[in-house]
Structure 1
Amino acid sequence: MDGKQQTQQPQIQPCRYKVGKTLGAGSYSVVKECVHIDTGRYYAAKVINKRLMAGREHMVRNEIAVLKKVSMGHQNILTLVDYFETMNNLYLVTDLALGGELFDRICRKGSYYESDAADLIRATLSAVAYLHDHGIVHRDLKPENLLFRTPEDNADLLIADFGLSRIMDEEQFHVLTTTCGTPGYMAPEIFKKTGHGKPVDLWALGVITYFLLCGYTPFDRDSDFEEMQAILNADYSFTPVEYWRGVSSNAKDFIRRCLTIDHTKRITAHEALQHAFVAAEEPTDGAGENLLPTIKKNFNARRTLHAAIDTVRAINKLREASHLMDGARSKEPGRGAAPRSDGNGTRKDDSGISLGKEDSGYGTQHDTDVVMGNTTAAPALSSVPASLQPGNQANKVIQTSKGLWSAPTSNR
């Protein structure tokens, strides 16, 4: 057989990292603290189970392509340090963000003012503008994906989790049509599937800004369908008035400019950086009020409410399952049918508008997100797939062949 036709064998080499405690967990991956054996430097390793990701390798390949393109280019973007694979797992090694999530940091502060929110949005916008200048749309901006590099007060805020990001070829421009993201932060055009691009990140920033100023999201509703309808109609308001009395008119105008239904009229990242809310040294009005008590009260109240709603939904699902089992035994049609599906796992309401996949792997639901910070989301060892557990022999070697990591020629 000709040597050129022989299959290239993987290059085997000793592992250069040791993994430590689990920092967070998602449907297909866990995030672990790791240390480089030679340098002693600490990083975060996103450990992705190959078996669970079978058929979705393009998502990992895409995340790597995005991170390689922007890593080290902006102080507010998480840096990809290394990537490799073992027999069972894929590893993405990134900066170790020890400062925790955005909202957790806010809640630990003794005080919090509108100018603080403006500083956070300015840093995020700067990174988003950099991404957009390099043809990248993030598509999953939300507070959980904004992390602090260190616990220090002046630590950099980092945009993380590029699993849903896309590189858009400006020379052969195409719009994106896949439903993705976290429902409460998704722009109308994503639900409509009419094509979307960079403006979806500005919509998400509008939702984040609203949240950072009051403690709840603008389209918060009792069901996914009601939330989607509110987003499609931009049905939100700055109420109750007492919660917004300490917020400036500039901040409200900034939110309105971001939450514009027509994406062609929505503010761009560079325009947003020039907006008075972000560019001003101090808010023009309402600057002196400490927003923290209101934000914490609203956040905790809605968390309690949604926990109660989730409990009721779980009880109803159990009842429906019981009815279905009873119906199956008596050969009667099942009751309590689930929402229609298009065969690909995408739910649809009666209007035919997609509500998002039940479990896309990188989170259209909160419990699928990988949280990088000390959190109770870290699973017990017994619940972690065997291939992810410390000491597994399959993780002793690294296969550094191309395979998964090589993007298909057609996508270059």
Structure 2
Amino acid sequence: MASQGQQPQPQIQPCRYKTGKTLGAGSYSVVKECVHIDTGRYYAAKVINKRLMAGREHMVRNEIAVLKRVSMGHQNILTLVDYFETMNNLYLVTDLALGGELFDRICRKGSYYESDAADLIRATLSAVAYLHDHGIVHRDLKPENLLFRTPEDNADLLIADFGLSRIMDEEQFHVLTTTCGTPGYMAPEIFKKSGHGKPVDVWAIGVISYFLLCGYTPFDRDSNLEEMQAILVADYSFTPMEYWRGVSLTARQFIKKCLTIDPTKRMTAHEALSHPWIAGPESGRGEEDLLPTVKKNFNARRTLHKAIDTVRAINQLRAGGMGMMDGALSKQPSRVNDQVENSKPKDEGDVHADGQMDVDMKDADSGAMDPRGNGMGQSEAQIEEQKRRINATQQGLWENRGNAQAA
């Protein structure tokens, strides 16, 4: 019996889940496959490192609140099955979406038509309308957050990742002001910081629709700044014409209504569901197989952006070398291993039935590079050698870095 004035110790309960392979990783969390020990059912567990989330715990609490409000309410929304916390981590257990991401699924198809794109957007819009009806704005809609429940052809498409979502209490406030989201899918009002709400999701639907019909986004530019400038004035077009020749005018009109700069004049999710491209007959849609064009454009732009990133990295290498005096930092010990190691969630209190809870924060700190890896203190010859290897391999800036450092 605890003495008077002594706080009772928290009760320790055995974990009901056993984790398996890693499905994905972010800056402060990993997603792992897990199985419920008693039922044998498989789920996905989002493991969130409390230390890395220090000062931002409200984001996780908010995500839980959002999922609790909408779970089991719509077939196209990921369901929150369970949530709990240990001394070091927070856990969100959700549906296990085994069907993969939206665009990966499209690329595996033998053919892909405008009607297929309309069906995908209809399912997404239906879920978005449900969210909006329940006072929730997602704020991070993009193809990567649209997952299929199973590998079957008729599998449900699920909206996932509610980390940036917000519950909008209409009686207390009407707009949000935080800049958030993925740049290419963000609405103008987010960049303007003039206040935003549910219309940002419809803008994102317009960007996704454009992407699904041609393989690239409407505001695709060489930098985030140029992308933002294009978004602010809705600077986009349905060009080159050969990529849009097989797409109906109705589809383009739908995109235009979604990508309206003024959020008060933008379609609502329910209005979008009633648009002819979504609700009308398939006979009004293009009949050309879009898969070859979509795949070609997607792969071409992915290669282009990799090349642009490589050039920027080389320029940073040069700038780093020019800014050094006598290689002052080149002999400093690397701290990359320490930083990555310290970013891992600790195991104490997180033991499962097998006695392990291994969580790898693979990209926990994008700045965790050793000084020489950033070009500091390197000679011109060393930088040129790195440039040569980059151009030769096209497999990443840091491949075989250890050999270069030993040279």
Distance 1:171 1:56 in 2: 25
In structure 1, stretches of 5+ residues that fail to align are 330-381, 399-412
Which residue is 1:345 aligned to? Answer: none
Count of equivalent residues: 343
The percent of aligned pairs where both chains have the same amino acid is 82
- Residues 29-66 of structure 1, C-alpha deviations (whole Å, 9 max, x = no match): 11000000011000000011111111110110010000
- Residues 257-301 of structure 1, C-alpha deviations (whole Å, 9 max, x = no match): 000000000000000000000002305142x20000000000000
Distance 1:175 1:8 in 2: 42
Distance 1:166 1:213 in 2: 29
The offset of 1:87, in angstroms, is 1.8
Secondary structure, counterpart of 2:323 in structure 1: helix
Residues 181-330 of structure 1: pairs in structure 2 closer than 5 A: 181-286=181-286, 288-326=287-325
The structure having more radius of gyration, on CA atoms, is 2
Which residue is 1:168 aligned to? Answer: 168
Which residue is 1:48 aligned to? Answer: 48
Q: 1:3 to 1:227 in 2, by over 3 A?
A: farther
User: 2:311 is matched by which residue type in structure 1?
Assistant: V
TM-score, normalised with respect to structure 2: 0.80
Matched, 1:395 2:350: yes
Distance 1:326 1:204 in 2: 47
User: 2:307 is matched by which residue type in structure 1?
Assistant: A
Contact 2:34/2:42, CA 8 A, preserved across alignment: yes
Secondary structure, counterpart of 1:13 in structure 2: coil
The offset of 1:328, in angstroms, is 10
Which residue is 1:59 aligned to? Answer: 59
Which residue is 1:405 aligned to? Answer: none
Q: 1:123 to 1:322 in 2, by over 3 A?
A: same
Higher relative contact order (CA 8 A, sep 6+): 1
Residues 86-165 of structure 1: pairs in structure 2 closer than 5 A: 86-165=86-165
Distance 1:271 1:6 in 2: 59
The offset of 1:243, in angstroms, is 0.3
Contact 2:87/2:348, CA 8 A, preserved across alignment: no
Which residue is 2:357 aligned to? Answer: none
The offset of 1:384, in angstroms, is 6.9
TM-score, normalised with respect to structure 1: 0.79
Contact 1:277/1:283, CA 8 A, preserved across alignment: no
- Residues 313-366 of structure 1, C-alpha deviations (whole Å, 9 max, x = no match): 11112222223334997xxxxxxxxxxxxxxxxxxxxxxxxxxxxxxxxxxxxx
Secondary structure, counterpart of 2:58 in structure 1: helix
Distance 1:258 1:30 in 2: 33
Contact 1:112/1:292, CA 8 A, preserved across alignment: yes
Contact 2:101/2:146, CA 8 A, preserved across alignment: yes
Distance 1:7 1:55 in 2: 25
Contact 2:76/2:159, CA 8 A, preserved across alignment: yes
The offset of 1:173, in angstroms, is 2.5
